[in-house]
């Protein structure tokens, strides 16, 4: 076998010293052996004895030198001191580092958190750019403008959020979100979308105050960047804006556990409506003398909550205690003076689930209804099983109408319209083709988009997540459509003899809007989304007068029996839109 390779000693000094020590010991042993009694008898000269004694002294000296050298060069004590010093420095350094704020940029979201986690601040943004095209039949051009005779195609930034959110003193959270985008095909000056302060120290309870969208329903609690389609369905959008919606003054009590979510809110006006909006650039609002007062809430429960399956059922409701007052206290109003402004009124309306039309058309529109109170109730359900997701909801609306004063052929007549009832419902679902799942958010009681397991990477042949979606919604704002209850209004000048004008005060012809939407969502990663939606829109509606006219109340002029007019105001159209979204 070949000899083992020579290995360099780890410490040359120790190796040399030990070799010298070994040789010295051998020499000493030999001298001792020579000094045995037998040898002393054969060699007894004094010189030899002196020589041996000197050599013994030399060995002792060498041993002392070796010990001194070892003591001087042995690193054990120094290593112990170094380890102790390094450990102390590490502890001090760790304390210093731990006391520093921690910063992160998870998924592109910049966040700073104090060392104890009691303080934090995060910058976030949501950018949505939409472009779309409407396709209308030629017959739509013959309708009055109030019935949507020419929807405009185009592009706009639907939302541009700049958001600061975080925590102070552990139990308090805050959110300040400003929107520089807009609906109606036009961006608006920056305005408050959500600004609130919340106390979280009594979990699972929380208390919030500010101007924000108070939780009104499952679809409302789904964040604007998390909706399945470009816009919320019309029934849900109308429902959330009665007493909630963006920038609504509110105070809320919240309750959230893994299986139960509840919210109860007292609300006022929106920041962008009423007297608050008069001084805002681009605002179109009438002055009000008292703000709206409303109570709304939602409650949901998950009877099934497993890793890959959830089922939610819930209820929601809104009651408007007091509508905004448009007339100063004590002045004449529509309830006691013909032709005057209504003290309180409310308009039910919503666009056909796209908002890039710059004309602001709303096919489903009741016009202003004089009212005392508004109430709404609803039921909802949602759930997922692996990559499949479904959601549905139904809403009922009631308007407690106030009295109306008319100038008739026999003098002033005051009538009391019957209460109006409207309804809306929707069903929607998705299928994630790439196998991801929509997730349940305990903090909002709603579902969120999937976490992308394979972000877009051309080199690896990975494309992100793809989702097919479909939805059908029906918003019916018709009531007493052919009710013959009426009052005879004084004749206008120039009409044929014997012609009388009638107003059907119970009749509301807001239209029955039905929308089918097909969509495809592409998530290249967890912050970028591209979506394409196609809509088929059907609106069944009768006009409010015997000839094309805007929404000014249901009236007719006739020399015969007083019957509501039957002029068609509905239409069918389609539209396609795409969205590019960045959510940090």
381 CB-side CA count, 13 A = 6
pTM above 0.85, yes or no: no
More confident residue, 34 or 360: 360
Contact 183, 398 (CB under 8 A): no
Residue 330 pLDDT level (bands cut at 50, 70, 90): confident
Condensed to tens digits (0 to 9), the pLDDT of residues 165-174 reads 999 999 999 9
Residue 483: Cβ within 10 Å count: 16
- pLDDT of 27 > 70? The answer is no
* Alpha-carbon gap, residue 454 to 460, rounded angstroms: 10
- The rounded percent of the chain whose pLDDT value lies above 70 is 79
Assigned token pair, 469: 């979606």
The pLDDT value recorded for residue 441 is 97
Find residue 529's DSSP bridge partners: 581
Where exactly are the structural domains of the chain? Answer: 16-34+48-71, 199-583
* Alpha-carbon gap, residue 338 to 296, rounded angstroms: 34
- pLDDT of 4 > 90? The answer is no
The pLDDT value recorded for residue 553 is 75
**Residue 584, C-beta contacts closer than 8 angstroms, at least 6 positions apart:** 107, 108, 109, 123, 124, 125, 126, 527
Condensed to tens digits (0 to 9), the pLDDT of residues 134-155 reads 999 988 888 888 898 999 999 9
DSSP 224-281: TTT-SSSS--HHHHHHHHHH-STTEEEEEEEEE-SSEEEEEEEEEEETTSGGGGTTST
- pLDDT of 409 > 60? The answer is yes
The mean pLDDT value for 404-417 works out to 89
Residue 500 pLDDT level (bands cut at 50, 70, 90): confident
| CA-based torsion, 557, 559, 562, 568: positive or negative | negative
Contact 143, 568 (CB under 8 A): no
- pLDDT of 7 > 50? The answer is no
* Alpha-carbon gap, residue 225 to 231, rounded angstroms: 10
The mean pLDDT value for 333-339 works out to 91
Assigned token pair, 349: 């309306």
* Alpha-carbon gap, residue 76 to 73, rounded angstroms: 9
- The rounded percent of the chain whose pLDDT value lies above 90 is 60
Contact 578, 570 (CB under 8 A): no
- pLDDT of 550 > 70? The answer is no
* Alpha-carbon gap, residue 46 to 198, rounded angstroms: 106
Taking the C-alpha atoms of 286, 275, 375 and 476 in order, what is their torsion angle to the nearest 10 degrees?
40
Q: Give percent helix, percent strand, percent coil of the chain, each to the nearest 5.
A: 20, 45, 35
Taking the C-alpha atoms of 240, 243, 248 and 250 in order, what is their torsion angle to the nearest 10 degrees?
-120
The pLDDT value recorded for residue 468 is 98
Condensed to tens digits (0 to 9), the pLDDT of residues 85-109 reads 666 666 766 677 677 788 888 888 8
The pLDDT value recorded for residue 32 is 40
More confident residue, 187 or 24: 187
Question: What integer best gives the mean pLDDT of the chain?
Answer: 85
Contact 130, 531 (CB under 8 A): no
The pLDDT value recorded for residue 546 is 67
- Report in angstroms the alpha-carbon separations of 115 from 96, 105, 146, 396: 10, 16, 59, 50
Q: Decide: residue 37, CB within 10 A, 0-12 exposed, 13-18 middle, 19+ buried.
A: exposed
Condensed to tens digits (0 to 9), the pLDDT of residues 51-91 reads 666 666 776 676 676 666 655 665 565 555 655 666 666 67
Residue 363: Cβ within 10 Å count: 28
- Select 199-583's CATH number: 3.30.56.10, 2.40.160.10, 1.10.357.10, 3.40.50.300: 2.40.160.10
* H or E element in which residue 87 lies: helix 76-98
The mean pLDDT value for 553-580 works out to 89
Which residue is it, tokens 């290249």? Answer: 524
The pLDDT value recorded for residue 183 is 82
226 CB-side CA count, 13 A = 17
The mean pLDDT value for 271-280 works out to 62
The mean pLDDT value for 345-364 works out to 91
Condensed to tens digits (0 to 9), the pLDDT of residues 458-481 reads 999 999 999 999 999 999 999 999
The pLDDT value recorded for residue 258 is 97
Cis peptide before 91 (omega within 30 of 0): no
């Amino acid at each position: 076998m070949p000899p083992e390779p020579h290995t360099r000693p780890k410490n040359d000094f120790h190796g040399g010293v030990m070799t010298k020590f070994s040789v010295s010991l051998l020499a000493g042993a030999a001298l001792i052996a020579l000094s045995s009694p037998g040898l002393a008898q054969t060699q007894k000269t004094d010189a030899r004895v002196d020589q041996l004694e000197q050599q013994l002294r030399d060995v002792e000296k060498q041993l002392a030198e070796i010990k001194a050298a070892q003591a001087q060069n042995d690193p054990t004590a120094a290593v112990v001191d170094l380890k102790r010093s390094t450990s102390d420095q590490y502890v001090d350094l760790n304390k210093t580092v731990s006391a520093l704020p921690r910063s992160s940029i998870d998924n592109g979201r910049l966040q700073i958190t104090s060392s104890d986690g009691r303080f934090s601040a995060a910058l976030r943004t949501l950018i949505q750019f939409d472009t779309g095209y409407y396709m209308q039949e030629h017959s739509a051009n013959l309708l009055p403008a109030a019935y949507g005779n020419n929807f405009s195609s185009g592009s706009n930034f639907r939302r541009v959020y700049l958001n600061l959110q975080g925590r102070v003193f552990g139990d308090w959270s805050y959110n300040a979100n400003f929107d520089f985008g807009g609906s109606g095909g036009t961006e608006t000056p920056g305005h408050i979308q959500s600004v609130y302060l919340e106390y979280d120290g009594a979990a699972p309870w929380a208390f919030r105050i500010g101007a924000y969208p108070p939780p009104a329903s499952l679809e409302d609690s789904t964040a604007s960047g998390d909706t399945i389609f470009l816009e919320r369905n019309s029934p849900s959008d109308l429902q959330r804006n009665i007493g909630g919606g963006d920038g609504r003054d509110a105070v809320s009590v919240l309750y959230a556990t893994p299986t139960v979510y509840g919210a109860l809110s007292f609300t006022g006006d929106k920041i962008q409506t009423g007297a608050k909006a008069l001084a805002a650039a681009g605002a179109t609002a009438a002055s009000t003398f008292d703000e709206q007062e409303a109570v709304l809430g939602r409650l949901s429960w998950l009877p099934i909550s497993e890793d890959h399956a959830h089922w939610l059922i819930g209820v929601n409701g809104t009651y408007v205690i007091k509508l905004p007052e448009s007339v100063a206290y004590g002045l004449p109003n529509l309830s006691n003076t013909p032709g005057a402004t209504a003290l309180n009124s409310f308009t039910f309306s919503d666009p056909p689930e796209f908002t890039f039309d710059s004309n602001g058309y709303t096919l489903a529109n009741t016009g202003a209804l004089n009212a005392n109170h508004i109430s709404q109730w609803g039921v909802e359900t949602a759930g997922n099983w692996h990559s499949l997701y479904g959601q549905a909801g139904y809403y009922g609306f009631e308007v407690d109408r106030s009295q109306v004063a008319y100038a008739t052929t026999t003098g002033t007549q005051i009538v009391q319209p019957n209460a109006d009832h409207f309804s809306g419902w929707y069903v929607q679902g998705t299928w994630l083709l790439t196998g991801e799942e929509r997730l349940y958010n305990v903090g909002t009681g709603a579902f969120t988009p999937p976490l992308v397991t394979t972000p877009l990477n051309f080199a690896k042949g990975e494309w992100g997540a793809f989702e097919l979606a479909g939805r059908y919604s029906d918003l019916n704002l018709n009531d007493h459509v052919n009710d013959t209850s009426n009052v005879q209004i004084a004749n206008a000048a120039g009409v044929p003899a014997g012609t009388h004008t009638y107003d059907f005060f119970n009749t509301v012809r807001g239209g029955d809007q039905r929308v089918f939407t097909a969509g495809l969502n592409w998530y290249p990663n967890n912050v970028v989304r591209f979506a394409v939606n196609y809509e088929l829109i059907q609106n069944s509606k009768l006009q409010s007068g015997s000839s094309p006219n805007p929404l000014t109340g249901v009236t007719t002029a006739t020399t015969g029996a007083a019957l509501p007019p039957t002029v068609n105001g509905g239409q069918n159209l389609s539209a396609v839109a795409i969205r590019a979204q960045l959510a940090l």
